[in-house]
Amino acid sequence: MEKIDVRAVFSKSGRAIFISHLDLQRTMQRALKRSGLPVWYSQGFNPHIYLNFPLALSLGISSCTEFMDFSVTEEIDFEKAREKLDLAMPDGISVIKLAEPVHKNQDIGFAEYEMKFYGGSPDEMLEGLEKMMSMETIETEKHSKSKGIVKIDIRPHIEILNAEACGDHLFLTVKLPAGGSLNINANVFADAFSDVSGIEFKSICIERTKILCKNGEKFI
């Protein structure tokens, strides 16, 4: 049976940001079935739709640039297929594009996030950020599948692309390592920022805006 790989680009916002990664897999399987696309199923005793998410998104974070890989059994018109799949999606998830994969999952190296921090004055938060970025080391705990909870220094891996005091909040654009070799969650950065600055944020809004390859190219 012919097997053609397809990569879907989709956004996740609104109430959908509270769909866990496991539930997202189930949601996407149901949507693919409803779409009527000629989806490829795995072979064997218990056939199922093959799905792969190159970089899982943490609960509570929105994104305009998520990726999902699946396969079809025949050639499809990508735009017509996108429309069918988008119609099958629940509120908060929109299919932006379907295309043949260009990069491999192992090529992912970074992710960019836009963050809004509320709590304290914007100037106070900017001072806290300057304090944080002037530190030589920022140790935090990270879960490792092989070693359990380990301490890592995240300071060398944080790149602040933009920082602005905007009315009642601080707006940041942050680039963090992502992928197999090292993955720093945006929430880990936010927690470290709170600890170092001593500010207890009332709310934090985070959106993943880019997934990049190790060489800086956009992942697709």
Res 101: pLDDT: 97
Res 78: pLDDT: 98
Pairing of strands 148-153, 139-144: antiparallel
Place of tokens 């530190």: 135
- Domains of the chain in start order, with CATH, are 4-101 (3.30.70.580), 106-213 (3.30.70.60)
CA quadruple 183, 70, 24, 209: dihedral sign:
positive
> C-alpha dihedral over 183, 193, 152, 108, to 10 degrees?
10
Tens-digit pLDDT string for the chain (220 aa) = 689 999 999 999 999 999 999 999 999 999 999 999 999 998 878 888 989 999 999 999 999 999 999 999 999 999 999 999 999 999 999 999 999 999 999 999 999 999 999 998 999 999 999 999 999 999 987 776 667 788 899 999 999 999 999 989 999 999 999 998 899 999 999 999 999 999 999 999 999 999 999 999 999 8
DSSP state of 53: -
8 A C-beta contact, residue 118 and residue 201 = yes
Res 44: pLDDT: 78
8 A C-beta contact, residue 144 and residue 183 = no
Res 1: pLDDT: 64
Token duo for residue 182: 């090292």
